[in-house]
Amino acid sequence: MLPDQVLSQLKAIVGPQHVLLESEDLQRFGVDRTTLWQANPCAVVLPSAVTMVQKIIRLANDCNLAVVPSGGRTGLSGGAVASDGELIIALDRINTVIDFNAIDRAVTVGAGMITADLQAFAAKHDLLYPVDFAAAGSSQIGGNIATNAGGINVIRYGMTRDWVIGLKVVTGAGDILDLNQGLLKNNTGYDFRHLFIGSEGTLGLICEATLQLTRPQADTTVMVLGIETFAAIVEVLEVFKTKIELTAFEFFSQAALDKVIKRQGHSAPFATQAPFYALIEFETRTQVTSVALALFEQCAAQGWVLDGVVSQSLAQTRALWRLREDISETLWHWQPYKNDISVRVSKMSDFLAEVDQLVAARYPDFEIVWYGHIGDGNLHLNILKPEDLPQTEFFERCGIVSLEIGELLARYGGSISAEHGVGLLKKSLLPYSRSPVEIALMRSIKKTFDPKSILNPGKVFDALV
């Protein structure tokens, strides 16, 4: 519980109505989409300006009060969990367009802006913010940047990092930094902007962001192919990449498709069932579509592809995308244990074979659901919790096997977290992707920007000693 004096100071900074103490609010703001931890914050504050955030952080330093930054809380790694009496700073009220310049194709927004709202703003100005994923309707830009969000367009447009040209942050020490100021070229020493991108709120609070926009994407065509094996998915990817500039190359298993069809009421793409499916998207042009159809025939002749469909309208394109985009939301009904992993695409085929064998051997009594952004080497391995198995026991069993997957990833030079961050969930796996020297340097950087270690304690790695 907050001391009365601290509570009074917080109310003076943001206004009494923007300090939340009710149990319902504490529960709502205290967790993300992970289900392992119970929310237990001392309070939630909602500042409306960067200077308010600075005052709150300085007060937290004076009181040795731990702080958890909160965005849309759509994360999957426990990065926004407040379970030990921390103060939550939610940036929901810092959510407007601050500046827009059509010549620069740049927009500055508050960190609390919803991703879909930014996409809609860009579209209104005949531009595109291309970072997109299933949680775009509820995730916030600040959280996207703090986790370097990826999504379905990475093969064409890259990660969030590639679109951030400026940041305004409040460090753990309470300093305001205005980083890069929207410049495309700025070769003046260390670029601290990139330290904060993907830092998961452990170095500072991202309050404003200047983002690059681009030309709108032309109308797209979607192809869904039924594929025989894991290895064949990679073969199909390589065939299509050599001839067509793809905007997306996603995959999912028959198990994933079955869940989505049953839960969401969607229709199967075609009558043939296949172990796996690839969703391929490209800009609609007559010549490109003809090439894609020829590539489909080539892959079918090799025995890689069992069946396929090509969208003939915008409505069909959207319907085919729903088969992929609705998977994550559908699977939450089974409380899945998620492995968000990646390797280089050139190593994908061999890695897939090994990890599939490992999973089949270690999880013989669990239902496994595969899907992911295979075009950029990112796999989502989901283990569904049996209804009669206690959640704690289920996660313990999955966690043990995750260590073996970590060892396999280390051997392949892969990552234990491709796009969801480390948070609380994956910090024990961090040494499989980062060397001891790297982790020591990360701790040093944390100490520099957050000398009292008040920001998001216990996330990424354990508290400094």
DSSP bridge partners of 283: 220
User: C-alpha distances in angstroms, 54 versus 57, 59, 127, 204?
Assistant: 5, 9, 33, 10
Q: For residue 427, what pLDDT is reported?
A: 93
Q: Report, as ranges of residue numbers, the positions in the chain whose pLDDT lies below 50.
A: 465
Q: For residue 395, what pLDDT is reported?
A: 87
User: C-alpha distances in angstroms, 254 versus 27, 225, 370, 440, 463?
Assistant: 36, 12, 9, 43, 42
**Token pair 């982790």: residue:** 439
Element (H, E) at 109: strand 106-110
> How many angstroms separate the CA atoms of 208 and 191, rounded?
17
> What is the fold, at CATH topology level, of the domain defined by 4-92?
3.30.43
Q: Please, how many CA atoms are within 13 Å of residue 340, restricted to the half-sphere of its CB? A: 18
- Angle between helical axes of 286-301 and 230-243 (0-180°, round to 10): 150
97-212: which CATH number, 3.30.565.10, 3.30.360.10, 3.30.465.10, 3.90.1300.10? 3.30.465.10
| Contact status, residue 255 vs residue 367, Cβ threshold 8 Å | yes
Q: In CATH, what number does 220-328 get? A: 3.30.70.2190
Tokens describing residue 193: 């902007």
> How many angstroms separate the CA atoms of 27 and 415, rounded?
31
| Contact status, residue 279 vs residue 224, Cβ threshold 8 Å | yes
89: nearest Cα among 118, 109, 66: 66
Q: Architecture of 335-436 per CATH?
A: 2-Layer Sandwich (3.30)
> How many angstroms separate the CA atoms of 94 and 440, rounded?
34
Question: For the segment 144-158, what is each residue's pLDDT rounded down to a tens digit?
Answer: 999 999 999 999 999
Element (H, E) at 164: strand 164-171
> How many angstroms separate the CA atoms of 389 and 230, rounded?
30
Strand positions, DSSP E, 271-357: 276-283, 305-310, 337-342
Q: For residue 464, what pLDDT is reported?
A: 59
DSSP bridge partners of 128: 214
Q: Where in the chain is the domain with CATH 3.30.465.10?
A: 97-212
C-alpha of 275 from chain center: 26
Q: Where in the chain is the domain with CATH 3.30.70.2190?
A: 220-328
Q: Please, how many CA atoms are within 13 Å of residue 222, restricted to the half-sphere of its CB? A: 23
Q: Where in the chain is the domain with CATH 3.30.43.10?
A: 4-92
Tally of CB atoms within 10 A around 17: 8
**Token pair 């790695």: residue:** 461
- What's 198's DSSP letter? T
| Contact status, residue 112 vs residue 94, Cβ threshold 8 Å | yes
> Which amino acid makes up residue 379?
L
Task: Name the CA dihedral angle for 81, 204, 93, 8, rounded to a multiple of 10 degrees.
Answer: 80
Q: Going by DSSP bridges, is the β-strand pair 220-227/164-171 parallel, antiparallel, or unpaired?
A: unpaired
Q: For residue 76, what pLDDT is reported?
A: 86
> How many angstroms separate the CA atoms of 65 and 70, rounded?
16
Phi, psi (deg, nearest 5) at residue 77: -125, 10
> How many angstroms separate the CA atoms of 151 and 379, rounded?
12
**Token pair 């996330």: residue:** 459
Give the burial class of 189: count Cβ atoms within 10 A of its Cβ; 0-12 exposed, 13-18 middle, 19 or more buried.
exposed
